[in-house]
């Protein structure tokens, strides 16, 4: 089942409508910093179609400046969360289960803190409740190292060729790595720079005990970007959270292990 592109919305998105989908059965899929709406489509995790087959309306967004979504200024998590809240309101299907990978998981946490009435559940995949170490020196060093290939003129394709292989387990199929690199290479450089700069200020650790909706924290066993230990500590602070670790998976868990990821996602949403 292919998603239908909806470009005219607070956030452009792919939409899948499941049989019998109704209010209260909305899932919004949120991509990582090097991704886009297609990360959840047939060439990515296939989660949009899997959710639709289970009776949900599934929506995979482009964050501002990605794909068909307009850029925002200032580019920060507050603005991204505001656009996401407007989309959920416009869809008119009630609060949403937010399924967020990496950066998407941070945006999901941010919206849950800012507008909890818009959120009916959280699936936090390969993500964390804060970005890096406290203190401006670490953040400045991270930005300098992350942007170095771009500053040297490598472009997003060169950056993707450096970063994506380090996120994958040794046995990742080459075709999967190529798809992930193509997704990252397609992100506008200005958007990538702005998104990474926005993330370094993210810290929602204090809000974890205040989350009142059902929450799944899921991570890959081999994830070195958002480690299983980080996931465990995050899940322990969220009341009633479910923690799941997928063996052999790295940071790009939904694309690396789509069957395992979607099985865990649907079981969680079914209350299993």
pLDDT over threshold 90, residue 137: no
Fold of 4-269: Rossmann fold (3.40.50)
Strand order in the sheet with 26-30: 4-6, 13-17, 57-61, 26-30, 96-101, 119-125, 215-220, 242-246
Least confident span in 87-91, 160-164, 192-196, 198-202: 198-202
How much is the pLDDT for 134?
A: 60
CA dihedral over 39, 44, 49, 51, signed as positive or negative: negative
Task: Count other Cβ atoms within 10 Å, centred on residue 115.
Answer: 16
How much is the pLDDT for 21?
A: 60
pLDDT over threshold 90, residue 138: no
What is the per-residue pLDDT across 205-255, written as a single tens digit (0 to 9) for each?
999 999 999 999 999 999 999 999 999 999 999 999 999 999 999 999 999
Q: Parallel, antiparallel, or unpaired: how do β-strands 57-61 and 13-17 relate?
A: antiparallel
């Amino acid at each position: 089942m292919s998603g239908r592109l909806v470009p005219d919305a607070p956030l452009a998105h792919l939409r899948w409508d499941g049989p019998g989908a109704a209010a209260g059965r909305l899932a919004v899929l949120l991509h990582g910093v090097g991704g886009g709406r297609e990360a959840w489509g047939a060439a990515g995790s296939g989660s949009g179609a899997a959710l639709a087959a289970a009776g949900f309306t599934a929506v995979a967004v482009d964050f501002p400046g990605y794909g068909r979504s307009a850029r925002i200024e200032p580019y920060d998590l507050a603005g991204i969360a505001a656009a996401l809240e407007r989309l959920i309101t416009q869809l008119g299907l009630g609060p949403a289960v937010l399924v967020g990978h990496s950066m998407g998981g941070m945006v999901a946490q941010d919206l849950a803190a800012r507008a909890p009435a818009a959120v009916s559940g959280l699936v936090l995949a390969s993500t964390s409740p804060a970005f890096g170490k406290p203190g401006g020196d670490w953040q400045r060093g991270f930005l300098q190292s992350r942007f170095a290939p771009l500053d040297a003129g490598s472009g997003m394709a060169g950056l993707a060729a450096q970063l994506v292989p380090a996120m994958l387990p040794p046995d990742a199929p080459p075709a999967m790595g190529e798809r992930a690199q193509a997704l990252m290479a397609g992100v506008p450089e200005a958007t990538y720079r702005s998104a990474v700069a926005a993330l370094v200020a993210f810290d929602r650790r204090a809000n974890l005990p205040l989350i009142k909706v059902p929450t799944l924290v899921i991570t890959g066993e081999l994830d070195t970007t958002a480690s299983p230990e980080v996931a465990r500590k995050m899940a322990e602070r969220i009341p009633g959270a479910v923690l799941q670790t997928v063996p052999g998976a790295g940071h790009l868990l939904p694309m690396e292990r789509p069957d395992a990821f979607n099985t865990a996602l649907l079981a969680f949403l079914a209350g299993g």
